[in-house]
Structure 1
Amino acid sequence: MNILQQMSEQMWANFTKNGEKVLYQDLAFDDWIENTMAAGRKLCLNLIRVFLEEADRQFKESEIRKDKFAIKAIRETTKSTLYGDLTVKRTYYQNKETRAYFFLLDKVLGWQKYSRMTLGVKAQILENVAGHTYQEALTMIPHLGIHSKTAVMNIVHREGQQLPNEPSVTEKPAPKPIQTLFIEADEDHVAYQDSTNRFMKLVYVHEGYDVTDPRHPLIKAHYFTGNYPGKDNEELWTEVLDYIETNYRPEKVYLSGDGAQWIKHGADFIPHCTFILDRFHLRKYCKKASVGIAGLDRTLYHWALAGQTNFIQDYFRVRFSDPTVTVSQCHSLKQAAKYLTNNAAAICDNRLEDYHGCSAEGHISHYLSRRLSSRPQGWSLVGAQSVARTRIFQLNGGNITNFLQAEQLKALKQEKISQFDRRLNVRKNIKNKYYEQAQAAFSGHLRGHRSLWQHGLQVGW
């Protein structure tokens, strides 16, 4: 109480002194506010320090501690919080039974070993990294005592990699019957540190577009992302299918994309699913097909949507027989002819009345490319996926702080279970050891002596 009174009196003295300077125009009002807030943060951190050290002292003096734990040292630690550095002295104990060393205060507070940051700081850094560089993520936290980009990278690689595509929900609703469900998919080309480009996949499921809003937002959209290995990305489509079966009972599913093999595989993987080629890539290949002839791409575009495949085939037949077509133009024509021919049915399905279109290209640009590939930079495999997962986790309504706290509690429970299992195994081994020794000694006696052992065990010696 004396410490609290001293700190309060000192803060009040500084507060009134600076207030008088403001009145005499020797100090700016905003500086007074900043000084007061800084003093308040310092006071709160000191109060927390005093409280924790007093709790540690009381446990140290308790009879339970004296019976089970031996004091080995008193050590100081500094933890970076969102409001400044917190320095606390706590006691280092040894369990007299297991001989294990530990800081009881660290265990109670859930402080991770060898980590200088609290979970709140790590969660804030992950939120900042989702839209800013590593250095900017640090500078956005004004009172943080850590300034190393390597520390940010370690958080992204360790905590960010844990973030799932779907936030944990305590109560899952019953599957909703729906007539039509929409899936849209595309990929971002991300440059990596090994001088290669890999796809960062993006898939999102929604109930359609809200036509009452001028911006036409998606209705109940849920997103999936990751650098999934394999040609068909079955792991990704399994996650999507699990989400659909948990939340919906659709009669029809429309999957839109650019016609990549992994997207078409999703249409085969998901029941009642029809693949439809998005119009963005249709326009792109119609422009490629009209190379050398300005303005013809619009005609090809309408022919493709109308299912006039014979008109398109006749067009390509004429272009390929044209002697004025250059080698590079011929290459573009071959690519366009193959693309439009192989996806003819998926192009025609754009005319279905209950199909709303596809905005996957815009989503890729806004949610992935904006952070991963819009600037010349090389990512690591873990870093790129962690940042992408962080952005999508927030987009799906997940709370990073709550998730990290839940994971920490889960790890603590698992550690307790492991310790309990180890104690059971130790006791079992001890029991088996003495049982085997007694059995061996008992078997070594003569027949008459064994009878004497039996009689002594049953009725007493």
Structure 2
Amino acid sequence: MTILTHKLPSSYLNKLITETKEVLRTVIDPTNQSFSIRNYSDSIESISNVLQELGRNQLIAMINEMDIKFRNSPNRLISFYVKDNRERTIITPFGVVTYLRTIYQCRTTKKCFTYVDRKLGLPRYDKYDPCIKAMIAETHATQNSMLKTGELVGKRIFSLFSTKKERNNFNISRQTVHNVLKNITLIKPSYSEAEHTPTDIYIMADEKYVHLQGEPSQIRENGLTVNVMVKQAVIYDKRVTDGRRSSLKNRIVYSSIDGSFWTNVLDIIAQRYDFDKINNIHISGDGAKWISTSTSTIPKSTFYLDKFHYKQALRQMLLDADDRHVAESYINNNSKIEFKNITTCLLHLEHNKDRIEYAKTKLEYITNNWNAIQRSLHPDYHGCGMEGQISHNLAAPFTSRPKAYARENLRRYLTIADGTRNGVDLLNLYLDTFDLPRSNKHIEIKKEEYDFSMFEQNNRSDKSSTSNWLKGFTSQI
């Protein structure tokens, strides 16, 4: 099995290759009567170890050759002195890599620089290379758990696949994950015009309250929990049903904790579609005032009350199934006066005053949204699945476990999560914008329907706050 060039001598790598050959020879041998999944897993683990070590050797060889060629180049001899040689250790997707690089000093300015670090775009002092940081950003966008993100990326650093307990020694600390996320360039999406503008556009909207931390001290002193309303809209132009499953075509998710929510939604629609060709914009939701009044901002729009919410209000108002059946028949026949009369009579039969007052609020909810309910009963209305969107997009990542967010961090996480759901390749986005503060350039992500302009980010290093990486390093020697 010849997989190495003569340029990469490594006793440890040769040892791994010998061990891998022995494992594969044992698995292949027909006289071996062991039939087990361990035959496969041991083979994968052995090959993974070779690939990891090969990657480290190849990277070190490339850096050494790069440094030697620059050191011997005519331009270097004219412009720079050789000041020192220093080792640097960084953590890469292949594991821990230590290489020797030359420190140069300018003959005229006397300033020092490291050629290979500058050539590769590696910031000073960072323990984790930009590829690891990009992996952290991409993983957290779907996990939203710094601890889980650190575990997943850490195991990948140790090996492509490993059953050794030492794989946990590379777990990345929460603080390091937080520092990486804090320095991701914020995304301001700009949506290119769709090839086809349909006559009807659909918007579903709902909200979720998320706990905040770090709010003004007088609030904390009073022991009050601070929540912020996260508003979310899902914009799409077609619903496709395949059996019992439905999918939304050309879906765009927009979340915000700031004002001008519907103005921003309108901007997205205007960028995406030819507004003159749109005849109707259907807005669905639970009847909250901020949703029902969206029609004053969104032209050509009509509000529909989600069937789930009015039926839920009906169940909470009338506990008896037969009573609900009668009351719902008046809703279906658009008989508002008769509905109010019959439900008022039924409520008079209640003896619990608190129960009566609660039921009256539900009656008021239904009557106030009567027209929106009637529109939702039209056969062409295909319903509102926003409860599922909120559960998946906001509840699961942000409120399923007891946690609180700083307001600025929450804005950042919402932006990253929305971008990922809208098709942004966060791994490439992170790498493409890594040097943005030094170049003032605009990055265009080559995606079918999107391009992105970037805001400036803070440039900070992330010295590792844990010694786990060192334990992992020694375990591989």
Same-fold status (TM-score > 0.5): yes
Paired position in structure 1 for 2:374: 348
C-alpha RMSD over aligned residues: 3.4
Matched position secondary structure for 2:205: strand
Q: Are 1:179 and 1:252, in contact at CA under 8 Å, matched by a contact in 2?
A: yes
Paired position in structure 2 for 1:451: none
- Structure 2 residue 204 is the aligned partner of structure 1 residue 204: no
Q: 2:87 aligns with which of 68, 76, 80?
A: 76
CA change 1:220–1:69 in 2 (3 A) is same
**Structure-1 separation of matches of 2:193 and 2:264:** 23
For residue 259 of structure 1, report the CA deviation from its aligned partner: 1.9
CA change 1:174–1:373 in 2 (3 A) is closer
- Structure 2 residue 365 is the aligned partner of structure 1 residue 361: no
Give 1 or 2: higher helix fraction: 1
**Structure-1 separation of matches of 2:301 and 2:106:** 60
Q: 1:139 aligns with which of 131, 138, 151?
A: 151
| Equivalent residues in 2 for 1:182-193, closer than 5 Å | 182-193=202-213
- Structure 2 residue 258 is the aligned partner of structure 1 residue 233: no
CA change 1:250–1:16 in 2 (3 A) is same
Matched position secondary structure for 1:211: strand
Q: Are 2:197 and 2:273, in contact at CA under 8 Å, matched by a contact in 1?
A: no
Paired position in structure 2 for 1:216: 246
Q: Are 1:157 and 1:383, in contact at CA under 8 Å, matched by a contact in 2?
A: yes
Q: 1:300 aligns with which of 317, 327, 334?
A: 327
For residue 352 of structure 1, report the CA deviation from its aligned partner: 3.4
**Structure-2 separation of matches of 1:2 and 1:48:** 15
**Structure-2 separation of matches of 1:36 and 1:191:** 46
For residue 278 of structure 1, report the CA deviation from its aligned partner: 0.9
Larger displacement relative to structure 2 (234-243 or 335-344): 234-243
Q: Are 2:104 and 2:115, in contact at CA under 8 Å, matched by a contact in 1?
A: yes
Q: 2:186 aligns with which of 148, 152, 162?
A: 162
| Aligned AA (1:335) | T
Paired position in structure 2 for 1:268: 296
Q: Are 2:23 and 2:42, in contact at CA under 8 Å, matched by a contact in 1?
A: no
| Equivalent residues in 2 for 1:99-118, closer than 5 Å | 101-118=112-129
Q: Are 1:106 and 1:112, in contact at CA under 8 Å, matched by a contact in 2?
A: yes
For residue 42 of structure 1, report the CA deviation from its aligned partner: 0.9
Deviations 1:69-121 (A, max 9, x none): 45454333333222312223333445556665543323322224443333332
For residue 55 of structure 1, report the CA deviation from its aligned partner: 0.5
**Structure-1 separation of matches of 2:274 and 2:75:** 49
Q: Are 1:254 and 1:355, in contact at CA under 8 Å, matched by a contact in 2?
A: no
Q: 2:338 aligns with which of 295, 311, 326?
A: 311
Paired position in structure 2 for 1:254: 282
Paired position in structure 2 for 1:284: 312
Q: Are 1:283 and 1:297, in contact at CA under 8 Å, matched by a contact in 2?
A: no
- Structure 2 residue 392 is the aligned partner of structure 1 residue 380: no
| Aligned AA (1:111) | L
Matched position secondary structure for 1:218: strand
**Structure-2 separation of matches of 1:104 and 1:35:** 35
Q: Are 1:372 and 1:384, in contact at CA under 8 Å, matched by a contact in 2?
A: no
Matched position secondary structure for 1:176: coil
Q: Are 2:82 and 2:102, in contact at CA under 8 Å, matched by a contact in 1?
A: yes
Q: Are 2:208 and 2:395, in contact at CA under 8 Å, matched by a contact in 1?
A: yes
CA change 1:293–1:212 in 2 (3 A) is closer
Q: Are 1:18 and 1:32, in contact at CA under 8 Å, matched by a contact in 2?
A: yes
Matched position secondary structure for 1:376: coil
- Structure 2 residue 75 is the aligned partner of structure 1 residue 47: no
**Structure-1 separation of matches of 2:276 and 2:113:** 49
**Structure-2 separation of matches of 1:269 and 1:245:** 17
CA change 1:10–1:216 in 2 (3 A) is closer
| Aligned AA (1:304) | I
Deviations 1:374-404 (A, max 9, x none): 2233333344444444443332222111211
Between the two structures, name the one with larger relative contact order (CA 8 Å, sep ≥ 6): 2
**Percent same amino acid at aligned positions?**
22
Paired position in structure 2 for 1:455: none
User: Greater Rg, structure 1 or structure 2?
Assistant: 1
Matched position secondary structure for 1:369: helix
Deviations 1:192-238 (A, max 9, x none): 33632222222111123213443122222221123x223x5256435
Deviations 1:338-381 (A, max 9, x none): 32232222111113343211110111112221221222333333
For residue 265 of structure 1, report the CA deviation from its aligned partner: 4.0
Matched position secondary structure for 1:375: coil
Deviations 1:118-173 (A, max 9, x none): 333233323332236322222223243352121122223332x7245x4x77xx45
| Aligned AA (1:403) | L
TM-score by length of 1: 0.76
* Contiguous gaps of at least 5 residues in structure 1: 417-461
- Structure 2 residue 69 is the aligned partner of structure 1 residue 58: yes
Q: Are 2:137 and 2:427, in contact at CA under 8 Å, matched by a contact in 1?
A: no
CA change 1:301–1:404 in 2 (3 A) is farther
Matched position secondary structure for 2:180: helix
Q: Are 1:175 and 1:246, in contact at CA under 8 Å, matched by a contact in 2?
A: no
| Aligned AA (2:56) | L
Larger displacement relative to structure 2 (81-90 or 12-21): 12-21
Larger displacement relative to structure 2 (334-343 or 198-207): 334-343
| Aligned AA (1:334) | K
Deviations 1:260-319 (A, max 9, x none): 2332343222221111111121112222322x5454334434433543221233245446
**Structure-1 separation of matches of 2:120 and 2:408:** 29
Q: Are 1:185 and 1:263, in contact at CA under 8 Å, matched by a contact in 2?
A: yes
**Structure-2 separation of matches of 1:106 and 1:295:** 76
| Aligned AA (1:162) | L
Paired position in structure 1 for 2:174: 149
Q: 2:422 aligns with which of 396, 407, 416?
A: 396
**Structure-2 separation of matches of 1:386 and 1:158:** 10
Larger displacement relative to structure 2 (136-145 or 272-281): 136-145
* Residue-pair matches, total: 407
